[in-house]
Amino acid sequence: MSNYRRNRVPGGTYFFTVNLFDRQSGLLVEHIDVLRDAIRKTRQSRPFHIDAWVVLPDHLHCIWTLPEHDADYSGRWQAIKKAFSKSIPQNEQRTAVQFKRKERGIWQRRFWEHTIISERDYAAHVDYIHFNPVKHGWVQAVRDWPYSTFHRWVERGVYPLDWAGSDKAELDTGERLD
C-alpha cells in the first residue's frame, strides 16, 4: 500500500479536489441536497470554515480553513464521503476490489490537497474554483452555475456578477492551476 505524504498544518487553509470513481457520473449534482447534508453534519461534529466551493457532476473543488489546533482534513473527508454514500441508493458498479473490501463504488479512494501558502495563492485558487463550471463547459458564465459559492463572493463585493462571463475565453490569474 502506498504511503502518501500530506502537508498538515494545524489551522491551515487547504484547496481540495475530490472525484467520483465514475467520472461520467452526475451523482454529485443529482444528489446535491444529500451532499450538503453530509457536509453540514460533518461540520457540526468536526468544524471547519468553507472559504470557497464548487460542485460539478463528477467532482468538486473547495477551500477550507481548519480550526487553530486541528489539521485532520482527511478525517473530515472520510466522514463526508461516508455520510453521502450511506444516504444514496446502492446501484453503482463496483470493482472486485471494492466488492471484496465492502466499499461503495462512488468515490475515488484518494483526494488531492494543496496547502494555501499566500494571499496570491488563495486568490488564484478561489478564482479557479469559481471558474471551473465554465472551464468544463457546463455554463457560459460563472453566475449561471448554481452549485458554487460564487454568489456569496458577489454579495461580499469580491466579484462583479458578470465576472468571467461568456465574453471571457479563459481565466487570467497569472498562474496555471490544472
20, 106 Cβ separation under 8 angstroms? yes
- pLDDT tens for the chain, residues 1 to 178: 455 678 888 999 999 999 998 888 999 999 999 999 999 999 999 999 999 999 999 999 999 999 999 999 999 999 999 999 999 877 767 677 765 776 776 888 889 999 999 999 999 999 999 999 999 999 999 999 999 999 999 999 999 999 986 544 444 444 434 3
Q: Is 73 designated active site?
A: no
In whole angstroms, give the CA distance from residue 34 to residue 167: 34
The label of the residue with cell 453521502 reads 84
According to the 3-state scheme, what is the secondary structure of 97-135?
Answer: HHHHCCCCCCECCCCEEEECCCHHHHHHHHHHHHHHHHH
Helix crossing, 73-86 with 32-45: angle to 10°?
Answer: 140
Q: What is the pTM of this model?
A: 0.87
According to the 3-state scheme, what is the secondary structure of the chain?
Answer: CCCCCCCCCCCCEEEEEEEECCCCCCHHHHCHHHHHHHHHHHHHHCCCEEEEEEECCCEEEEEEECCCCCCCHHHHHHHHHHHHHHCCCCCCCCCHHHHHCCCCCCECCCCEEEECCCHHHHHHHHHHHHHHHHHCCCCCCHHHCCCECHHHHHHCCCCCCCCCCCCCCCCCCCCCCC
Fold (CATH) for 13-118: Alpha-Beta Plaits (3.30.70)
In whole angstroms, give the CA distance from residue 135 to residue 23: 16
In whole angstroms, give the CA distance from residue 130 to residue 151: 10
Among candidate residues 14, 73, 128, 147, the one labeled active-site is 147
* Residue 92 CB neighbour total at 10 angstroms: 16
